[in-house]
Amino acid sequence: MTALLFAIVTLAWGFSWFAIKLQLGVPPEVAIFHRFVLAAVLLWLGLLVTGRFRPATWAQHRWFAVLGGTLFGLNFLLIYGATLHIASGVVSVVFTAATIFNAFNQWLFFRVRPQARVLAGAACGMTGIALLFASEWAGVTGRPEAAMGILLALGGTYAFSLGNLVSVRAAAGGTDLPNVTLRGMCWGSAFLGLFALVQGKSFAVEMSWRYLGGLAYLAIPGSILAFLAYLALVGRAGPARAAYVTVLFPLVALSVSTMAEGYVWTTPALIGLPLILVGNLIIFARLPGRQATRA
């Protein structure tokens, strides 16, 4: 089941980077607002039809609000903002730092020491991703706006990491995962809508196949399916291991770039791919010695 969750999130988020590109031209806060309003409405209807909608107390909404502000609000605002300054492929590279941020935040807030194999596997995977996007990194270094883009991407990644931890606390109150996700999306949409309103932005939907197609993908596979699978993964494998998916989905994004954007495979990229696979094995391969000890 854990492997299936990894595959769902990797594929859904891997294609989402290209879908985000389809929304360029609309203010980020408005595009994200459209995305999560649509996702929340569809998820709410699905829960009602299946009889799985559950009420929540106001006390629980405190955590839902924090979840919405971090995982469904600030995270995306900063990540979308980063794509205005640097290539989306570079943003996906920076986003792999979620693995390290999650391990750090677990130590900071819960005093849980990260396992050496988690850190080693993450470092190996991040090195591989950096090699995959070596050409993009080389193109960024000479641009003054690149620093702002990387800072925004790092900020969004850290907000994503905080949202991971909050999701565990929000679900601990007895609310099941789909209802936690729904509330988080609703709060995130509310924050984004207020932010767009203060900025004086128009909420009009761009009626083009390009924008609507990207919106549909980001709302359904990229939000409902991916976030349900990811938060379930956090509950099963823990935030540190679950975040390793952020090292995997850039592979899908890279494949899409190869077919749709003419990405050229370089020697560093060909070296980086096996490094990512090795990093995956370091973290998730079962150790015979430990299994024998537990038995």
Model confidence pLDDT, tens digit, residues 172-201:
878 888 899 999 999 999 999 999 999 999
Q: How much is the pLDDT for 247?
A: 73
Q: Cα separations (Å) of 179 from 40, 214, 225, 271?
A: 10, 25, 13, 42
In a domain, 154, yes or no: yes
Residue with the two structure tokens 């389809």? 22
pLDDT tens-digit map of 100-134: 888 888 888 888 887 888 788 888 888 887 787 67
Domain count, the chain: 1
pLDDT of residue 261: 64
* pLDDT attached to residue 150: 82
Residues with Cβ within 8 Å of 109's Cβ and at least 6 positions away in sequence, in order, are: 165
- Using CA atoms, how far apart are residues 94 and 47, in angstroms rounded to an integer? 35
pLDDT of residue 188: 96
* pLDDT tens digits, one per residue of 74-109: 999 999 888 888 777 677 778 877 878 888 888 888
Q: Is residue 295 part of a domain?
A: no
What pLDDT does 43 receive?
Answer: 93
Per-residue pLDDT, 266 = 79
Residue 268 lies in a domain: yes
- Half-sphere exposure in the Cβ direction for 280 (13 Å, CA): 18
| Domain annotation covers residue 204 | yes
Is 294 a member of any domain? no
Task: Let me know if residue 143 belongs to a domain.
Answer: yes
CA distances from 235 to 73, 74, 93 (A): 21, 22, 25
**173 vs 64, 68, 209, CA distance in Å?**
11, 16, 41
The answer, yes or no, to whether residue 139 has pLDDT greater than 70, is no
* Rounded distance between C-alpha atoms, residue 168 and residue 69, angstroms: 15
Listed residue (223, 204, 240) closest to 73, CA to CA? 223
Contact 115, 79 (CB under 8 A): no
Query: What is the average pLDDT across 159-170?
Result: 90
> Is residue 64 predicted with pLDDT exceeding 90?
yes
Instruction: Tell me: pLDDT of 144 over 80.
Output: no
Tell me how far the alpha carbon of residue 266 is from its chain's centroid. Answer: 26
Q: Are 133 and 273 in contact (CB under 8 A)?
A: no
Predicted confidence band of residue 232 (pLDDT cuts 50, 70, 90): confident
Q: Tell me the pLDDT tens digit for each residue of 248-291.
A: 787 787 787 777 766 677 788 788 878 877 877 787 665 544 44
pLDDT digits (tens, 9 = 90+) for 11-52: 998 888 788 878 878 899 999 999 999 999 999 999 999 999
Is residue 292 situated within a structural domain? no
How high is the pLDDT of residue 141? 55
Domain hosting residue 211, numbered range: 2-285
In a domain, 293, yes or no: no
Read off the tokens for 2.
């854990």
pLDDT at res. 285: 62
